Amino acid sequence: MQRIAESAFVAYDSNCLVYYCFLVEIPETTPRICVKAIYTPQARSLTEFIISNGQKIITFTRAYDELRECIYAAVTERMTHRDIEALYGCEYGVHLSDKEKLRVLTSVEKKVRKLQNNSWFVIDKTFVPNADELRKIEAFFASQKPEDFGTSMIPSPMDREFINFGLTKTVPLITNDGGISKFARQLQGQGLAYRIFNLLELNS
Amino acid sequence: MDYDFEFESKTFPLRSMPPRGRYSISGQDSITRTLPRTVEEQKPCQLGLNLFSRGKLSEERSLGDINDKWGSTHSGVTIFAYLANKAADAFSLIVSRRSEMYTYMTCRVRADEAYPWPFTTLPYSSQSYPLTGHALSLEVLYVQLRELHQEFSQWPGSYNQLLLAGSLDYCASAVKKAITTHTVISEPVVYSLRDYYTACLSLFSQYNDFKTTIRRINLQSISDKFESLQDICSIQAVYPRLEELDISDGPSE
């Protein structure tokens, strides 16, 4: 974590923001049931470090506006895990209802929207990605061997904007997307990115 | 075994009644209209039935598609029917057609002869009989909500898709609870539930051929409507708000 300690701002990708907020307590349960994403502990630990260090977390408007689909993906992925189903007392083969998924979805979304009320969270409303830089980043990823991405997806247009955001604002990026963090050094070497860190590596 | 179907519209006017005539139970899983009244209606009208496998009001099941015309104006339209009620000498079906609201009906079937076959021997829920008035209205609403929920649950996944599927699941569960606990739901609640159903049905009709585009639509008005619906259900003690639901409501029905 010390590697990001000197920057005034740290940029979180959408997943990291969702993981931080993905902590839903189900009322009236004893012991209390708490549904969280797999990487929620890492995201919260890092965020607490950043806050206590007087730093701020930053993202940009377009990424923030498109968080809903990211929340949807995280919630549906998590709520179909057998361990969560078991937590609810579902018998094997019985899945959680759509209304239960919606309960968690809306709860996470409310927390994401409340981030704006925190002094340590900033949305950059002025950022406009550089079209030339975006094309270069796209060409960079297109030139990589598919096997080098492993199980990760090739970065999306939003991911490419995120990389460009870090470079333009000279803020370190935190992501759990292997498709980005695996290529951090090469991107930096070609002048296409500022510093990029994987959420899990920062916590290790 | 032949039976006479007597179709009757209970609450809403039907645009087109299924043709009257003689229907026969052609097997445990089908009913066929064997004596059409006109040349135009000569094709048998077959319901893909799976009616009597449960025989309980609380376990309505989709019966499948109409394999043939249901009246000349309904060619190609998928119709679902549900077992709504069963008594010693008759049973009711609720038939609903997707994408139109006022299309359900009950059908009473009376046997010409003695019953040789399953429904006399299957148990049924005496608590659910008779199904009239308020209970019928709720039953129909439940069927409509659950049917639409199942439709949206099969759409491509997105935030909006889960909003629609999850909220309809909530509504159906609320109505189901009222039915099973014999709670009389006040008119404002029923109105809100119907209103919400209609709004979702409208989206279904509008985007059914362009399902993936629903993720890009601003559904703030639907979201607000659902919020106020939860408030009404909670205040009237019909069903708790989503975030206050008991954990036993978590698993799917």
Is residue B19 pLDDT above 70, yes or no? no
> Taking CB atoms and an 8 Å limit, are B158 and A102 in contact across chains?
no
Q: Which residue has the tokens 């003690």?
A: B237
Which residues of chain B are within 8 Å of residue A72 when distances are taken between CB atoms?
157-159, 162
Chain A residue numbers touching B239 (CB-CB < 8 A): none
Residue corresponding to tokens 């404002």 = B188
Strands A121-124, A56-60: pairing is parallel
The radius of gyration computed from the CA coordinates of chain A, to the nearest angstrom, equals 18
- Tracing tokens 């014999």 back to the chain, one arrives at B182
Which positions ≥6 away from B47 have C-beta within 8 Å? B30, B31, B63, B64, B66, B81
Question: Which of A142-156, B19-33, B157-171 bottoms out in mean pLDDT, i.e. has the lowest?
Answer: B19-33
Q: Do A102 and B170 make contact, defined as CB atoms within 8 angstroms?
A: yes
How distant is the Cα of B208 from the closest Cα of chain A, in angstroms? 19
Q: What is the pLDDT of residues A14-38, one digit of tens each?
A: 999 999 999 998 877 777 889 999 9
Radius of gyration of chain B (CA): 19
Chain A residues touching residue B244 (CB < 8 angstroms): 27-28
Asked if A101 and B158 come within 8 Å (Cβ–Cβ), the reply is no
- Spatial separation of the C-alpha atoms in residues B66 and B60, rounded to whole Å: 17
Contact of B165 with chain A, judged by CB distance below 8 Å, is answered with yes
Rounded CA separation A96/A85 (Å):
6
CA distance A193 to A178: 15
Are B162 and A102 within 8 A, CB to CB? yes
Strand B91-97 relative to strand B105-111: parallel, antiparallel, unpaired?
A: antiparallel
Per DSSP, which regions of chain B are E strands?
Answer: 2-8, 22-27, 30-35, 46-48, 79-86, 91-97, 105-111
Nearest by Cα to B71 from B4, B19, B108:
B19
The answer to whether the Cβ–Cβ distance between B170 and A95 falls below 8 Å is no
Separation CA A162–CA A14 (nearest Å)? 9
- Give yes or no for B61 touching A (CB within 8 A): no
Inform me whether the C-beta atom of residue B158 falls under 8 Å from chain A C-beta atoms.
yes
Q: Per the omega criterion (within 30 degrees of 0), is the bond before B118 cis?
A: no
Beta bridge partners of B4: B22, B110
Residue B239: the pLDDT is 92
Flag whether residue B146 sits within 8 Å of chain A, measured between CB atoms. Answer: no
Which pairs with CB-CB distance under 8 Å and at least 24 residues apart come from A36-39?
A36/A78, A37/A74, A37/A78, A38/A78, A39/A15, A39/A176, A39/A199, A39/A200
Asked whether the beta carbons of B141 and B193 are under 8 A apart, the reply is yes
Distance CA B44, CA B33 (A): 5
Q: Do A99 and B244 touch (CB under 8 A)?
A: no
Any chain A CB within 8 A of the CB of B73?
no
Question: How many Å lie between the alpha carbon of B173 and the closest alpha carbon of chain A?
Answer: 9
Across the range A108-119, mean pLDDT stands at 94
Q: Flag if A27 and B170 touch (Cβ within 8 Å).
A: no
How far is B140 from B57, CA to CA, in rounded Å? 12
B95: CB partners within 8 A, 6+ apart: B18, B79, B80, B81, B82, B103, B104, B105, B107
Q: How far is A177 from chain B (nearest CA, A)?
A: 20
Q: How far is A86 from chain B, CA to nearest CA, in Å?
A: 10
Q: Does B123 touch chain A (CB under 8 A)?
A: no
Q: Rounded to whole angstroms, how far apart are CA atoms B57 and B127? A: 9
Bridge partner residues of A119 (DSSP) = none
pLDDT tens profile A33-87? 899 999 999 999 999 999 999 999 999 999 998 899 999 999 999 999 999 998 8
When pLDDT is averaged across residues B80-86 and rounded to a whole number, the result is: 38
To the nearest 10 degrees (0 to 180), the angle between helices A67-79 and B159-180 is 50
Amino acid identity of residue B83, one-letter, is L
Which residues, listed in sequence order, are joined to residue A28 by a DSSP beta bridge?
A: none
B5 in Cβ contact with B20 (< 8 Å): yes
Q: Per-residue pLDDT for B105 more than 60? A: no
Per residue in A175-184, pLDDT (tens digit) is: 998 889 999 9
Average pLDDT, chain A: 91
pLDDT of residue B85: 36
Nearest CA distance, A51 vs chain B (angstrom):
29
List, for residues B34-77, the tens digit of each pLDDT value: 443 444 433 333 333 333 222 222 222 223 222 222 222 222 33
Please tell me whether residue B75 adopts helix, strand or coil conformation. Answer: coil
Question: What is the 3 state secondary structure string of chain A?
Answer: CHHHCCCCEEEECHHHHHHHHCEEEECCCCCCEEEECCCHHHHHHHHHHHHHCCCEEEEEHHHHHCHHHHHHHHHHHHHCCHHHHHHCCCCCCCCECHHHHHHHHHHHHHHHHHHHHCCCEEEECCCCCCHHHHHHHHHHHHCCCHHHHCCCCCCCHHHHHHHHHHHHHCCCEEECCHHHHCCHHHHHHCCCCCCEEEHHHHHC
Residue A107 has pLDDT above 50, yes or no: yes
Assigned token pair, A105: 């979805």
Q: Indicate yes or no: pTM above 0.90.
A: no
Residues of chain A that touch chain B, judged by Cβ-Cβ distance less than 8 Å: 26-29, 33, 68-69, 71-72, 75-76, 85, 88-91, 94-103, 105-107
Q: How far apart are the first and last CA of chain A?
A: 9
**Residue A148's pLDDT band (cuts 50, 70, 90):** confident
- Note the ipTM here: 0.89
